[in-house]
Amino acid sequence: MLWVTLQYTDNDLASPGPASKHWMDALAAHHTVIRLDMRGCGLSDRKPERMTLDAWVEDIEAVVNAAGLSRFAMMAACTGAYAAIEYAARHASRLSRLVIYGGAVRGRLQRELTAAQRDDALAALQVYESGLDGRSEFAVTFRRIFTAQFFPDASAGQLEAHDRIVSQRMTGAIAAQSVRAFYDLDLSARAKCIDTPSLILHARHDILYPMDEGKRLAALIPASRFVPVESHNNIPLAGEPAWPQVRDAVLEFLAAGHGAAAPLPVFRLTVRQADVLRRVAQGQTDKQIARTLSLSPRTVEMHVSAALKALGSKTRAEAAHRAAQYGLF
């Protein structure tokens, strides 16, 4: 199994992130794990000539070929999702399973932003460069703020461990260059080309990567399942309640790829069906829903019936539960 993180961390088990001990213990207990960090950090070339999507995909191809992997599962976290999406679109026959946690299909500047949000995104590039290179007396503070955006629930010790790794493993110039490249990506069309069974997990309260971006990604990949996670952290920490759910979902999904697994259930609702079903879950009657949405009770009933059929459910309660489970509203 290839674990593509493309994060600003080395494999320090004490630091929060995809290489932390609870992740490695869970995955390595059942799989051979090959971890790939992005170029420009960790043990890779510190001053690469190219920081582009093609270059990141070429790195994955090189590691896969060197390891002699003919068919394997791939996981990606956060910004690693971009390279994973493109690799999966190009090499679907090589992948048995694809897992993406806390990622997005669109870079920050490709999303719907206000003018202020866009200005903040561009200003962050200077913070990355200055903070990582230690050019300011506030460099440590900058790095801690950056880390806290990813892991708002991390302890002081975890933030300190992460800060030590970040400051040692990547230069400010490379960080700014890579983030700028991420900002301008939109892989929506490429995601539609992926036919690998995919599991998309996303924290409901992620600050930097809104859950709507995870939902968008799952909606674009045909054979995908979306799992919302009750967390504020981009990557779940060991002690938080969401971790067992994430661990079990990932391991069960990967285990299904070893044999002749049944196709993943793929559920789709229209915007109106999701809106009606959300109100059903809130306990509203057809008449109340009709009044709120300016519809006839008969139309509401038709939307509910269509939603039950789309979700393969026999009752309204079952449909509402399934829609919530798969993050459809």
Q: How many angstroms separate the CA atoms of 79 and 100, rounded?
A: 10
**Is 264 part of a structural domain of the chain?**
no
Asked if 161 contacts 12 with a C-beta cutoff of 8 angstroms, the reply is yes
Query: Domain holding 213: CATH number?
Result: 3.40.50.1820
pLDDT of residue 194: 94
Q: How many angstroms separate the CA atoms of 76 and 74, rounded?
A: 7
Asked if 63 contacts 38 with a C-beta cutoff of 8 angstroms, the reply is no
Q: How many angstroms separate the CA atoms of 12 and 235, rounded?
A: 15
100 and 7 within one domain: yes
pLDDT at 55 over 60: yes
**Is 47 part of a structural domain of the chain?**
yes
Average pLDDT, the chain: 83
Summarised one tens digit per residue, pLDDT across range 256-309 is 765 544 445 566 788 889 889 889 988 899 999 999 999 999 999 999 999 999
233 and 100 within one domain: yes
Which residues constitute the domain of residue 242?
A: 2-109+186-256
Q: How far is CA 65 from the centre of its chain?
A: 25
**Is 247 part of a structural domain of the chain?**
yes
82 and 23 within one domain: yes
Query: Domain holding 312: CATH number?
Result: 1.10.10.10
173 and 191 within one domain: no
Q: How many angstroms separate the CA atoms of 42 and 7, rounded?
A: 9
252 and 199 within one domain: yes
Summarised one tens digit per residue, pLDDT across range 27-52 is 888 888 888 877 777 666 667 778 88
215 and 76 within one domain: yes
Q: Give how many domains the chain has, as a whole number.
A: 3
Domain termination residue (choose one: 216, 233, 256): 256
pLDDT of residue 132: 67
Summarised one tens digit per residue, pLDDT across range 109-136 is 888 888 998 888 888 777 777 766 666 6
Domain termination residue (choose one: 256, 279, 296): 256
**Is 210 part of a structural domain of the chain?**
yes
**Is 208 part of a structural domain of the chain?**
yes
pLDDT at 173 over 90: no
8 and 145 within one domain: no
**Is 50 part of a structural domain of the chain?**
yes
**Is 288 part of a structural domain of the chain?**
yes
**Mean pLDDT of all residues in 187-196:** 93
**Is 101 part of a structural domain of the chain?**
yes
Domain termination residue (choose one: 181, 203, 235): 181
150 and 47 within one domain: no
233 and 85 within one domain: yes
170 and 32 within one domain: no
Summarised one tens digit per residue, pLDDT across range 57-78 is 998 999 898 888 888 999 998 8
124 and 37 within one domain: no
**Mean pLDDT of all residues in 244-256:** 88
93 and 9 within one domain: yes
